[in-house]
Every structure is written in structure tokens, then in C-alpha cells.
Structure 1
């Protein structure tokens, strides 16, 4: 009876420690452990494994590994879960050496690694950009007659996709299906997301049809990825069809899905449909985040409705939402398009005082001045700016060429190259063509300077 009570108390101690670790309250978890020991409730290997996971997640691998010394002092031997937790902590930290050390230490203690040990090691190799070694781990799993689980295949496919081997991942999934493997929706989401980044719309649609044929229920992520790719490929009609299918079949869709729809409708010029979708979002009780407000503010600026845009900004701030860098950049871009350059410049200065990275906003301001014909004003802002990139130079060079100020454009382009930035071929071509009009000698001299400047960068 006493043994049963002790076991139950240890179980309750473990639940308490686990709850505190999950909420990142490690000090309270340690206090709970000390209180338990004072009351005569002794921790077991599970207690220490929970602490190891907590320390690895909150502090780091070294803090987690230190718990092993405490286990030894308490006369408790580490087990398979102990080392799997430490390997996961090392992987999260991006330390392949520590992950391999834990595997060696595990083997040295006579502990046989399981599928999760190899899954973690494979994931670590992929994370460190070493897909060849990661695939060798997968082959090792098969050679050791360890049965791979769904997570094994998902880690393998995700790792291949993230390291640029999407074609190999697709071939692998086809081969596995022939051998009777049934992919999960998570697996398809991984593949679709990788194809979406490459804007391979047809490939995503093929996978989407395959999901339907297999009778696998798509989730909100599946639909959102498909919609995002359709809209990114300017397939607005197909994207909207997917959304309405998602809605009509009762699938759960989240705020991100709705914002994706609104952004696509705005880009395609379907103002009334965007308004209806926004009203629907509010009706069903979604609390719009700052990204949603950014989309709507940008839309109103494009429509030339400055007052409505500022009203929306006021609503966002009244709800306690802090404007981010995108909000300020959208405002500056909208003000420039409306010709309110004085207000835009004051807002840019305000951004700087708030400590934001103003590069994109500054580029919008300079580009707006150039398009309005205030090229000298744009040059003053450029010279006073501390942050520049190739887009900053490109905007000025392009507009200087339009005004036939080719020599100044050539100087800026050379300055950009000497700063180690890449220049657009179209800008270089425009400058050369302009200098040729002034005389072939100017163009030849510029070509030579460009060649020398590029060589000096290597």
C-alpha cells in the first residue's frame, strides 16, 4: 500500500514538473521537485527527463546535459528517452557535434537507439545543410530493420525540400506509395509549400487533385497554400474557387486564409468582393491583427481613400495594436502616391526616431520623388540617408537616365558596384546607351571602370 501511494505521488510530482516546464517556469519546477523530496516523494527517471526537455527548450543544450550529473548523484541511470531529449535539444540549438556525442554516449552505455534517435539525427543533418549524410541515416534505419514511422518520412521529405531537392522528394514519395505507404496530409502540405515557394502552380494543383483522389481530408493549411500559389501566379479565379470549396465543404479556415483572400481581391481590383470578405471576417468574430489592417490600409491608399486609410489606422491603434514597419512603409508609400511629400518625409523621420529599419520606407520615398519629377530632392534625401541598397541606387539611376543625366547616373552606378552591391543589367545597359549618345569614349571608359570595380570585389 505504501509503495502504491509513493508511485502515485511520484506521478503527481511528474505532472506538476511537466506543467511548469511547459509554461517555461523552470525555477518553480525546481522548487516543486525540492518540495517533493522534502515530503519524501523521490523523483524517478521520468522526472529528470522532463527537466532535461525543459532546460533544453528554455535555456539550451548545456543546461539540459547538466541534469544528467544530478541523475547520477541521485543514483538514477539515464535511459533512451534521456538521450533522445538531449539529441533533440542539440538539434534545436543547431549543434551537430553535440547530437553525435549524445549518440556515441548512448551507445557507450549500451542503450540501443530507436527510430526517434535516428529521426532526430537525420533532422539535424538536414538542418545543418548536409542532406547526403541525412539520407545515409535514413538508409541506416532500413539496414538496421528499424521500422520508419510517419515522422521519419515527413522529416526526410521536408529536409529534401528545404535543401533544394524537391524533385528527389517527389520521386521518393511516388516510390514509397508504390510500396504501400499512405502519405498524411502533413506530408502533402510540406510538398505543396515547397512548390509554392518556387511558384510551381501546376505541380501544386496535381498534388491537390491527388489528395482528393486518395480521400485525404485537406486542412486549412492545405487550402491556404493552394490559394496563395494561385494568387501568386495571378490565377485569381482558381484561387477563389478553392476558397469557396473550402467554405462550402465545412472545412475550418483561419484568419490567415481570409487575409490571403482579401489581399488577392485587392490586387485583382475586385473592391466590392474584398469589402464583403472583410465584413464576413468581422461578422464571424475574427479579431483582425496588424497584418490584416496593413492589407486594408494599403488597399484604401491604392483606391486614393486617404481618410479611410487613416481611420483604419486609428481603429487599429485604439484596439491596442502596435504599428509595425510594414504599416509605416505603406503609409509613406501612400502619401507619396498622393503627392503629400512633406507629410511623408515627416513620417519617415518619425520612423527613425522610433528605431525602425527605414530602408524600404526610404526607398519608397525616394522612388516617389523620382516618379513625381523631383529628382534633385530625391538626391538630397539619398545623400543624407545612412542605409542604402541596390534598389535605392536603381531607382535613382533609372530616373536620371530618363532625364538624360547620364554622367551622374554613371557615377551612382559605379558607387553602387564599389559598395559591393549588385546592379541590374537593365540599369547598366541604360547608362551605357546614354553615354554612347554623348560619345563612344564616355561609354568605353565607363565599361572599363565597371569591369575594374567588379574585379576588385572578388
Structure 2
């Protein structure tokens, strides 16, 4: 009895050390336990394997198996499930399949979590068909799926762009008596939000309310975010107020979502009131919150205040990110401080940040303030460009009636494998027809068609 209790206490200690990422101390605890006559069991080693897989990697976790066998302990299904989870975390399908095969060779029967993990691995690697076959195998082998099985399946389909298939599966499961959890609803609501399917999302939200489940903070934040994305500001604010009335712990993210939406809708006084209330509550602001506030001041034309906020954030130990720099560069561009914006952009590049969005803001500002030739010079001097960069220049070249150069740039965009806006194509074709000849427009159309066949 004493030995069993001691082993249990050892396992609790190992689990605590692993959660705290103190893997060396966990190893030392096992050695000390053996010296004191407390022998580790399969649970001890399984806990250690899980820790290594989470915080070091699959290979480190797999190396523990050899020590298990040397100690005379046989790995079980939990051992291999932990290793499969570690392989999945590293997106290593071969290792995941190897663990399943090794398990079968040892005569260990995989359980529902073995198949859940394999299915999740397939989804993470963008192989939904193979994941569905695993789900089909679960049913054929008379293994009872659990709630996690259905959630992995629905979430995997959503993440791989098969939202309609996920909804069909959800409805099919409901017809067979499946009672979904709030987590399942949240998965579907989030996917509908990302796809901007506002009406479908609101219908599912009403269904959730009628099902007897209480929407949680994640549900409300998801609905609110979708409302704001789809410019349903009134509905989004109503959701936020309902969230407050029901006493949910609306967090800093919820406030920043509301502030961002109010900014976009041009409701300056409401934005100011919301920010004052957020600060009054006493939230510890993170960098995302500072970015929201900096963006607000930039839109108000208060660049000095925005830079002061940046200094406050850095003094409090927050590291500014690419969004901070992009917001400030965009603010400088809108204010017409082109030289300062360019210096800030160069500084951003030297710091190693992804400056593509900021670069697009700068190019657009140059065009807007009539520096089209300089915009072209800057454009050709860098490899940092995407379809929006091309589109901005093509649009402004057409406005300046420089259609031949716009046509050349549009073809270059297609040859670089980037998508072009149909509006840009129409503007160039129309301009060539008006200023040149029908033959010029026809020739450009043919070149564009050939470029799309070759580079798309």
C-alpha cells in the first residue's frame, strides 16, 4: 500500500514538473525515486513522454520508450497516443503512421484517441479525404466515437475550407441523435464568421439559444467580430451589450474589437467613450490594445499622441510589431509626411519586419500626392510587392492616362503569378481603345490571355 501511494505521489510530482517545463528536474525526480525504492510505472513514463513531446519534440519523447523497456515496463496505448500527438504537433505524418504501425505490431489495440489523433494529423496537413477515411474506419471497427471525434471532424472540414460539408455532417449527426456541445457550435460559428456568412451564422446562433445551451464569452465575441466584419455595427454593439448584461467577463480583446469597429464606422465620440471606459476599468494593455489606440489617434490626425503612446508601450516592456509600424506609416502617408514615412519604412525593413502592407500604403500615398514617377522608381527598386501593389499603380497610371505603361505593368503582374483585379483590366482595355486603336486593345487582350495560361 505504501509503495503504491508513493508511486502515485511520484507521478503527481512528475506531472507538475512537466507542466512547468522542468523536464530535467522530472528526470532527476525519477532517479531519486528509484534510489528511495519507489519504482516508476507506465504512467510515470507516459507523463514524461507527453512533456518531451510538448516542449522538446517527437524524437525526445520517443527516446523514453527505450528506457521504459530497459526498466521492464511495457508501453501501452496511452504511450503511443502521446507520441502520435507529438508527431502531429510537428506536422509529421510519417512518424504518426509509424507509431500506429508499431502499436499494432506490439499487439496493442488502438483506441478512439489513436484514430482521433491520426484524423487530426491528416486535417492539419490539408488531407481531408484521408481524414474522412479514418473517421469511416472508426465506424466500421465498431469503435464508439466521442464528442472530440465529431469536433475534430467538423473543425478539420471547416479549417480546410469545407464549411458546407461540416454543416451537412453536423445536421446528419443531429438526425442520428447527436447532441452537440457548445464547443461544436463555436467551431461552426467561427468558421461561418471567417467566411463572412453572416445570415447563416445568425441562424445557427439562434438555434444555439433555442437548444438550451448558454452562449459563452467565446460565442459572443465570435458573433460580435463577424457583425463588425460584415459592417453590421448596430447588431455587433447589441451583442456586446447583451454580453455585458449577462455578466460575461468581456475581456480586452472584446473591447478592442468594439473600438476597432467604432473607428471604421466613423463614430468618434462613441470610440472615445469606449476607450475611456476600457482604461477606467483598469485593463493592463497589451501591444494589440496599444495598436488599436495608436490607430485611433492616427485616424484623428494626432500623430504626436500616437508616437507618445508608442513610447509608453515600449517603456512598459511591450515590443512594437509590424502592425504598429504599418499603422504609423499609414498615418504619416495620409498626413502627407512622405519623407518621414519613407524613413520609417526603411527603419522597419532594417528591423526585419514584414513591410509589405506598409510599402503598399507608401506607394499609394506617392501616387495620391502626384509623385507617380517616383512611385514607379520605388516600385522597381524592391522585390517587396504583391497584387495590391500592382493594382495601386495600375489604377493611378490609368487616372493619369498612361495606359500603355499600365498595360505593361498589368502583364508583369500576371507573369509574376499574381491575380489582377477585373476592374484594372477593364480600365486598361478601355483606355487603350480610347487613346490608341482597337488593335492595341485586342493585342493586349491576347497577351493577357496567354500570360494567364502560362503563369496561373
Q: 2:42 aligns with which of 45, 60, 68?
A: 45
Distance 1:130 1:346, change over 3 A: closer
Does residue 1:216 correspond to 2:213, yes or no? yes
Paired position in structure 2 for 1:442: 440
Paired position in structure 2 for 1:457: 455
Does residue 1:310 correspond to 2:292, yes or no? no
Q: 2:27 aligns with which of 30, 46, 64?
A: 30
Whole-Å Cα distance in 2 between the matches of residues 443 and 142 of structure 1? 60
Does residue 1:118 correspond to 2:96, yes or no? no
Paired position in structure 2 for 1:297: 294
Paired position in structure 1 for 2:72: 75
Whole-Å Cα distance in 1 between the matches of residues 398 and 252 of structure 2? 45
Give yes or no for contact 1:226–1:242 (8 Å, CA) kept in 2: yes
What's the CA shift string for 1:371-418, capped at 9, x where partnerless? Answer: 111212212222322312221121111111111122222232233233
Whole-Å Cα distance in 1 between the matches of residues 132 and 407 of structure 2? 50
Whole-Å Cα distance in 2 between the matches of residues 152 and 120 of structure 1? 9
Does residue 1:376 correspond to 2:363, yes or no? no
Q: Secondary structure at the match of 1:110?
A: coil
Give yes or no for contact 1:219–1:252 (8 Å, CA) kept in 2: no
Paired position in structure 1 for 2:270: 273
Paired position in structure 1 for 2:170: 173
Q: 1:339 aligns with which of 332, 336, 353?
A: 336
The alpha carbon displacement at 1:103 in A equals 2.2
What's the CA shift string for 1:166-205, capped at 9, x where partnerless? Answer: 2222222223233332211100000001111110111111
Whole-Å Cα distance in 2 between the matches of residues 170 and 411 of structure 1? 45
Does residue 1:247 correspond to 2:244, yes or no? yes
Matches within 5 A, 1:412-431: 412-431=409-428
The alpha carbon displacement at 1:337 in A equals 0.7
Q: 2:17 aligns with which of 9, 20, 26?
A: 20
Give yes or no for contact 1:401–1:409 (8 Å, CA) kept in 2: yes
Moved more, 411-420 or 265-274: 411-420
Whole-Å Cα distance in 1 between the matches of residues 418 and 132 of structure 2? 37
Equivalent pairs counted in the alignment come to 455
The alpha carbon displacement at 1:281 in A equals 1.7
Whole-Å Cα distance in 2 between the matches of residues 17 and 152 of structure 1? 29
Paired position in structure 2 for 1:101: 98
Does residue 1:350 correspond to 2:376, yes or no? no
Residue segments in structure 1 that go unaligned for 5+ positions in a row: none
Paired position in structure 1 for 2:133: 136
The alpha carbon displacement at 1:304 in A equals 2.1
The alpha carbon displacement at 1:265 in A equals 0.9
Distance 1:409 1:268, change over 3 A: same
The alpha carbon displacement at 1:47 in A equals 1.1
TM-score normalised over the length of structure 2:
0.94
Distance 1:449 1:143, change over 3 A: closer
Whole-Å Cα distance in 1 between the matches of residues 189 and 44 of structure 2? 40
The alpha carbon displacement at 1:50 in A equals 1.0
Paired position in structure 1 for 2:63: 66
Does residue 1:319 correspond to 2:305, yes or no? no
Q: Secondary structure at the match of 1:68?
A: helix
Whole-Å Cα distance in 2 between the matches of residues 93 and 279 of structure 1? 43
Distance 1:176 1:299, change over 3 A: same
TM-score normalised over the length of structure 1:
0.94
Whole-Å Cα distance in 1 between the matches of residues 4 and 311 of structure 2? 58
What's the C-alpha RMSD, in Å, of the aligned pairs? 1.9
Moved more, 107-116 or 213-222: 107-116
The alpha carbon displacement at 1:247 in A equals 0.3
Paired position in structure 1 for 2:146: 149
What's the CA shift string for 1:189-233, capped at 9, x where partnerless? Answer: 000011111101111111111121122111111001100111111
What's the CA shift string for 1:8-29, capped at 9, x where partnerless? Answer: 3222222222222222232222
Paired position in structure 1 for 2:200: 203
The alpha carbon displacement at 1:322 in A equals 1.5
Paired position in structure 1 for 2:400: 403
What's the CA shift string for 1:100-128, capped at 9, x where partnerless? Answer: 23223222222222221222122222223
Distance 1:131 1:356, change over 3 A: closer
Give yes or no for contact 1:220–1:257 (8 Å, CA) kept in 2: no
